[in-house]
Amino acid sequence: MRIAIASDHAAFALKQSLVPWLVEQGHDVADLGTHGTDRVDYPDFGAAIGDALASGSAERGIALCGSGIGISIAANRNPACRCALVSEPLSAALARHHNDANAIALGARLIGEEMARACITAFLTADFEGGRHQHRVDKLGAPLPERLTP
């Protein structure tokens, strides 16, 4: 799978540990930065995840920052991105099953490397169930008036 991964400075160490692990799992990984521990702005890296998904250069995205909150908000500003903030594997799997999430966000200050790997594995191995969930997912990318209709 083609995976884009990005982090701010707070999650740089976690990203550095996840990239080789993802490659070992057989994935094609695009590291969108940051590439060091100097202070950077998470919105820039969330936008990079959204852009990679929108362009088709990545099938899935992994967004990392201190809490996961800011970078998930930034990634979701791109209508092509459905990024779910997760902290354990069940939420990561449900993000795929029910919401067709194409990215997850993780908080490096809140979860460890082992839990991050468990979340990523659950996310990457789960499939969207479609069915009753499809019309809701369709509304996520629809213009505002269409989203408000029952």
Whether the Cβ atoms of residue 29 and residue 7 lie closer than 8 Å to each other: no
Q: 3-class DSSP state for residue 2?
A: strand
Neighbouring CB atoms inside 10 A of 40's CB total 18
Query: Phi and psi dihedrals of 21, rounded to 5?
Result: -65, -45
The partner residues of 107 in beta bridges, in order of sequence, read 65
The dihedral formed by the CA atoms of 39, 4, 103 and 88, expressed in degrees to the nearest 10: -70
- Is 135 catalytic? The answer is no
- Is 65 catalytic? The answer is yes
Query: Phi and psi dihedrals of 4, rounded to 5?
Result: -100, 135
Catalytic residue among 65, 81, 83, 119: 65
Which residues are tagged catalytic?
Answer: 65, 98
